[in-house]
Each structure stands twice: as structure tokens, then as C-alpha cells.
Amino acid sequence: MKLHVIDTGFFKLDGGAMFGVVPKSIWQKTNPPDNNNLCTWAMRCLLIEDGNRLILIDNGIGDNQGAKFLSYYYLHGDDSLTKSIRRAGFSESDITDMFLTHLHFDHCGGGVKKSGDAFALTFPNATYWSNEDHWHWATQPNAREKASFLKENILPMQESGHLKMIQQREASPFPQMDIFYASGHTDKMMVPMVHYKGRTICFVADLIPSASHIPIPYVMGYDTRPLITMEEKDRFLKEAAEKKYVLFFEHDPSVECSTVGTFEGKVRLENRFKLSEL
């Protein structure tokens, strides 16, 4: 098995929204904002090369919404989904499985592309994976998340016949991967836990968006159930500290991976490193 980091570029989000009730005087020390109070965040994905399967976890923001929508997020950086996949030695048609942690636009928008006046799959030979509870949540969205679940990013997966649902109570369809389900950020977000070189690589998605979000109270204002997020983080991080999991951060602008340890009874960041260093 080989793992490839797929960088799809950076975007900006409001610092206060990203850190919730944590005061700006604290979070700006690790994530300095610009003059508009916006902080830079990565959209870092993971490609798993395993035998005859090529599994992509999340795919960034894409460009389906047009210039006005995307201008709110100040997309920048030299990397893109296509460039990173090709740098790894592959093309979009090589992807066999498109695993979606959840269906917010910055995690799934790159999986669909414009095709004339319609939309087509970016990965025409891939099976797209979600789960029934989250799919229902995303396609019949609540008022709070409606702006994050965009039908043009989501419905073409089903309409193409390429969508399959992972069953929470059954074994993972990927032998090398377990799945941790979290419902604080959004309902039934899937956190893949990949077994690699004797370690467990956890693609922590929006459960822990960055290394700065490791402390339990650091919960995004975007989360629909913040108290549940805190419970899930506490449970997950205690296990991660005990079993020395590697956390792979999707949104941290500079830290790809870290481990955590227990210090004075609290789980804290231990070491930070690149995935290639494993």
C-alpha cells in the first residue's frame, strides 16, 4: 500500500467561526487572521494506492458554483485536485473509489464538474461512497447547513448510478480501513482510519480540522451539535493518545500529521510531521 497527499489548494474562513467560543486573543496566536478576520485553511485530501484499487478521500471545493460564490472563500495556492493527482502518477479516470467523509461543499465539490449545461462525475470510473443517514441529512438539509449542502455537488453522484452506501453496522468495504462515525459537526460524518506500516492513519476531517483544534473546547461555530462534538473528540483523542494514532489534518494550513499524548491529564499535540516521514 502507498499513501499520497493530495493538496487541492487553500481557502479562507472566518476565524471566529472556525474556533467558536474560543476568544480571538487565544486562537490568533496559532492562526493569525487577515484584516477581514479570515484565516487560511488547506483542503488536503488523501489518496490510497492499494493493489488494483485507488481510493481518494475527499476532493476539495471544486469550481461548480462559479466566480461569485467562490470569491467569498478567496481560493489561492498553486495546487489543485487535478495537478496533485497527476503528480502522484495518476489521472481522474484511474480513481476506483471516491470516499466522502461528508457532503459539505469544501469536501465534495471536486467530485463533480460542469459538462456543458449539466454536471458529470470528475472520476468517471469510481464508486462514490457515503452513508444513508448522512445522505438523507444532506439532501434534505436543515436551515443551518443548507448553504453547505449544494445539490449540484451531490445529486449527480446518485443520478449517475455510481453512488453506494456504507452500512454503519456492517464491516467496512475497505479491508485496510475502519470508520469512526461522528455526528457533532454534521450527521454521520465518516472518519476513515487507515492501517498503514503498522500505524493507524486517521483522516480526521472536520472532527479535528487542524492541530490547533485538538483541545476539547476548540469546536467550530459551524458544528450543528457542539456538545456532541466535544464528547466525540474526547473519546477519539483518548484512544488516539493511547494507541498512538497518526492524525491527518484536512484543513491545517501547515501541519499534515501529528500524534497526541496525555499531559497532566489532558490530551495535547505531541509531534508534528509530514506523512512521507512515516
Write the pLDDT tens digit of every residue in 31-56: 999 999 999 999 999 999 999 999 99
Strand pairing of 127-130 and 97-99?
parallel
Instruction: Indicate if the pLDDT at residue 228 is higher than 90.
Output: yes
Beta strands in the chain (DSSP E): 2-14, 38-50, 53-57, 97-99, 112-115, 118-121, 127-130, 163-165, 177-182, 189-196, 199-203, 246-248, 257-263, 266-273
pLDDT digits (tens, 9 = 90+) for 204-218: 999 999 999 999 999
Range of the domain at 146: 2-168+176-277
Residue 219 region by backbone torsions, left for phi larger than 0, else alpha for psi between -120 and 50, else beta = beta
- How many residues are there in the chain? 278
Q: Cα separation of 39 and 148, whole Å?
A: 19
The reported pTM is: 0.97
- Tally of structural domains, the chain: 1
CA atoms within 13 A on the CB side of 196: 26
Where residue 96 sits, what CATH number does that domain have? 3.60.15.10
The mean pLDDT of the chain is: 97
Model pLDDT, residue 173: 95
